[in-house]
Amino acid sequence: MTGLGLAVLLLCWGAIAVSRREPRLWLAGALGRTAIVTLMALTAWFGGLMTGVIGLDWLVHWLGTPKLEPPWDKIAFFGPAAIVGAAYFVYEMTRPRDARR
């Protein structure tokens, strides 16, 4: 893991810790938890892609191109993690405020 990745994780954990001590900063905790879930989904997605468990041959075939070209490469690589992060953020926003602590 790079230093930037560790810094992001530390900032997220710090935001979660601060939100637990100060209830009015619940949004910082929600954003920190969302970022951690998004990073976990990104790690799982890239792990599946790089080991060959998940293949994108169907997408290349569907697009009718010999390889992934912009913007489809960025959508294929980062899209699933962004969708998971957005879904988790919606989940966090719909939870009752008492359950966030």
**Residue 28 lies in domain:** 3-100
**Taking all residues of the chain, what is their mean pLDDT, rounded to a whole number?**
89
DSSP string of 8-71, one letter each residue: HHHHHHHHHHHHHH-GGGHHHHHHHHHHHHHHHHHHHHHHHHHHTSS--HHHHHHHT-SS--TT
**pLDDT digit string (tens) for 47-87?**
999 998 988 888 888 888 888 888 888 999 999 999 999 99
- The model's pTM is 0.84
Q: What is the pLDDT of residue 99?
A: 57
CA 36, 39, 47, 90 torsion-angle sign: positive
Q: What is the pLDDT of residue 33?
A: 95
Counted domains in the chain: 1
| Tokens encoding 37 | 């879930």
C-alpha 70/C-alpha 45 separation (Å) is 19
Q: How far apart are the first and last CA of the chain?
A: 29
Residue type, 62: W
CA dist 43 → 11, 63, 66, 98, 100 (Å): 18, 25, 26, 30, 25
Is pLDDT of 98 > 80? no
